[in-house]
Structure 1
Amino acid sequence: MEQTNTKNIPIKDITLFRSCLVSAEYPGIEASTKYIFDKLGIEYVIDRNQSCCTGLGHYYDIFDELSTTALAARNFSHAIENKHKHYVPMCATCYAILKNAAKTLNQKDDVREKINNAFCENGLENLQYKKDSINPTDDITHVADILYHFKDQLKKHKKVDISGLKIATHHGCHYCKVHYDDTLCGVRNPQLMDKICEAMDVPTIGWYDHKRLTCGCGFRQRYANRELSLEASTDKFESLYKEDVDVLLVMCPNCHLQFDRYERVIQQHTGHKKHMVILNIAQLIALYMGAHPYKTVGIQTHTTNVEPILDKLGIEYDSGEDSLHD
């Protein structure tokens, strides 16, 4: 464990917390993260006993807070038993949900007791959570925080010059706007991914109109209030189109889905023809390190084609490996 600012960053004994949206929508994010961790020598495990954090269901009011906290207690207990208690989510929603659950389990004795009693009543005594077993600040760390911590080592693994890209960043509400004290590199003008890019010699555009604006998904709002959701996304895109951005970097699969899946819809609505690729920060770093664009980075799962960026970077590829696009 090493310290960055006031937050301890784990460098071993890590459980890479898998995300439902990453697995279902953009599995290349997980593959890219593993690729980077392996290159950097970061020790981690995948816990096959891990369950969903319930984030999507929680914000749709399908899971109540008690159920969400109970599942977190279950997951924490498995991680502790595996001696890899440092949870590293790839999703900002998982990150925020897990921190909230850990705080609840540590601070609310009645909730913790109710959950532990439920475990015992169902023969799951081994899953009982002990107060303060998980430190929500030090034991739950977004993968982007770790990438930031190791940013100065990235150049050692450089295979592709990405300095020709014009990049903007979107850090996500559940990273910047929930647990302020745990957020690295600012919340009003978040710069975590910007600084990672600087370490790879590709400065971002920095501040732009609507940088802190939500992606627009709003969980249920994406479906219940579709026009309102798309209006927020459109405001973001309009500002980025003015900046002539090649790549918008994200650190949450929900934001990724909102921007990537709906870019064509927004273009139809606004008449814009600008091509802007959406990449997770781990995917960009993996490309920088020479990862295979399809087998590792998984660009074939994107709605907006990533190949124009590969062409710009001079990365060779066989488009026949993309079976999802015409």
Structure 2
Amino acid sequence: MDKIPDKNILLFKSCLVSTEYPGIESSTKYIFDKLNIDYIIDHEQSCCTGLGHYSDVFDQFSTTLIAARNFNLAKKINKNNIVAMCATCYAINKKSSEILNENDDLRDEINEIFNECGFDSYKKDSINTENNILHVVDILFDKRKEISKKIKLDLSNIKIATHHACHYCKVSYDNILDGSRNPILLDEIVKSCGIDTIGWYNEKRSTCGAGFRQRFVNKDLSLEVTEKKLLALNDQNVDILIHMCPNCHMQFDRYQPYISKKLNIELKTVHLNITQFIALILGADPYKIVGIQTHTIPIEPLIEKMNTDNNKSKVNDKIENSKNKISI
């Protein structure tokens, strides 16, 4: 991958982020603004189809067609660096870009449809698979030294583990920054914030268990995978599991109380997207920006633990003043 871009960015909206954890989007925007990163969100952008595609509702042609439309939109507004907040959006766009650039017949078929609809044709290589499609973590990793200078909360008594999304690590092996066998990208970003993660732990490489439709059609099997990871985290007394995908985030955060009740074990790990975590320690409002009110596992006890004596009253006042908990 060439130099990580920090301008001409289309921040790619995610359906799961918008509906489940909108604080991920507002936290990303908060960080990007702090880092003077040039980006926009365009509401004409379509969903990537990921949930439907991986559940066999959308075939590859339909998914690629929609991706081509989104790529054309990015080119039209001169924001050809597409940065995803969701690992599935990242994987879908990577694969679709590769197909569009390598399969002339499919591209021609899509352009016939575009011509009938009055859309501009998709031009080969207008979006580069390797350099123009990124995940937010790629930018955070590149800017980690800048982030380290802006930290406002003390993390010395916090125990953190990471969960690297499979659709980031296992789809485009050659494009990820730190390898796929023992991913440490999130660990390095957290380290730049002033604390080491626990590093390797049992089940670190395991998936979240969601498997898209698996959480619905094979729920017991799905939650068995989730349970193993949560128990591994509990054994390590982990305070925060850092995520980079809203689907993983949802699987752990929404189902942890269910698993805790089933096992009659108090599972205390809270779940934050990497952008929520960074925004929080940069001083963002926990409710208005980070969106902690959308989480199933309460975040307030963790915020208390993260505060030093010097900044505790300030942050507590911020929480108290946000009791009206506006919707994001």
SS at match of 1:99: helix
Contact 1:50 1:78 in 2 (8 A): yes
Counterpart in 2 of 1:151?
Answer: 144
User: Residues 115 and 211 (structure 1 numbering): CA distance in 2 closer, same or farther, change over 3 Å?
Assistant: same
Cα distance in 2 between the residues matched to 1:250 and 1:27: 14
Query: Kindly, what percent of the aligned residue pairs are identical?
Result: 54
CA distance in 2, matches of 1:93, 1:239: 25
2: CA distance, partners of 1:185 / 1:202: 19
Match of residue 183, structure 1, among 176, 179, 194: 176
- CA–CA distance in structure 2, aligned partners of residues 106 and 192 of structure 1: 28
1:261-280 to structure 2, matched below 5 A, reads 261-280=254-273
How many pairs does the alignment contain? 317
CA distance in structure 1 between the partners assigned to 2:147 and 2:157 by the alignment: 17
Partners of 1:187 and 1:88 in 2: CA distance? 20
Q: State the secondary structure of the residue aligned to 1:163.
A: coil
Matches within 5 A, 1:112-131: 112-124=107-119, 126=120, 128-131=121-124
CA displacement, residues 142-170 of structure 1 (integer Å, 9 cap, x when unaligned): 00110000000112222212232100000
Aligned to 2:85: 90
Task: State yes or no: 1:134 paired with 2:127.
Answer: yes
Q: Determine which of 16, 25, 44 is the counterpart of 1:21.
A: 16
Q: Which amino acid aligns with 1:267?
A: S
Residue in structure 1 matched with residue 311 of structure 2 by the alignment: none
Structure 2 match to 1:3? none
- Is 1:48 the equivalent of 2:51? no
Alignment RMSD (CA, Å) = 1.2
Which amino acid in 2 is paired with 1:45?
A: I
Deviations 1:65-119 (A, max 9, x none): 1110000000000100111100000000000000000000000001100000011
Q: C-alpha separation between the residues in 2 aligned to 1:313 and 1:247?
A: 11
Alignment CA distance shift 1:7-1:217 (3 Å): farther
Matched, 1:11 2:14: no
1:103-118 correspondence runs (5 A): 103-118=98-113
1:192 aligns with 2:192: no
Q: Following the alignment from structure 1 to structure 2, what is the Cα–Cα distance between the partners of residues 219 and 95? A: 16
Structure 2 residue 210 is the aligned partner of structure 1 residue 217: yes
Query: Aligned partners of 1:177, 1:311: CA distance in 2, in Å?
Result: 36
* 1:8 alignment partner, SS class: coil
Q: CA deviation at 1:50?
A: 0.3
**Conserved? CA contact 1:86–1:140, under 8 Å:** yes
| Ranges of 4+ aligned residues in structure 1 off by more than 2 Å | 319-324
2: distance between equivalents of 1:233 and 1:196?
24
Shift of residue 186, structure 1, vs aligned partner: 2.4
The Cα of 1:322 is off from its aligned counterpart by 4.3
Q: In structure 1, what is the equivalent of residue 225 of structure 2? A: 232
Are residues 1:304 and 2:307 paired? Answer: no
Matched residue SS, 1:133: coil
- Whether contact under 8 Å (1:294, 1:321) holds in the other structure is no
Relative to the length of structure 2, the TM-score reads: 0.94
Whether the 8 Å contact between 2:287 and 2:326 is mirrored in structure 1 is no
Q: 5 Å matches for 1:56-75?
A: 56-75=51-70
Q: 1:54 to 1:157 in 2, by over 3 A?
A: same
> Structure 1 residues 161-170 or 246-255, which shifts more?
161-170
Contact 2:288 2:326 in 1 (8 A): no
Deviation of the 1:8 alpha carbon: 3.2
Alpha-carbon contact 1:15-1:84 (below 8 Å) kept: yes
For 2:82, what is the secondary structure of its paired residue? strand
The residue identity in structure 2 corresponding to 1:280 is N
Normalised by the size of structure 1, how large is the TM-score? 0.95
8 Å CA contact 1:300–1:323 kept in 2: the answer is no
In 2, Cα distance between the equivalents of 1:163 and 1:219?
A: 36
Write out per-residue CA displacement over residues 291-311 of structure 1, whole angstroms, 9 at most, x where no aligned residue: 000000000000010011011
Task: Report deviation, 1:56.
Answer: 0.3
What does residue 37 of structure 1 align with? 32
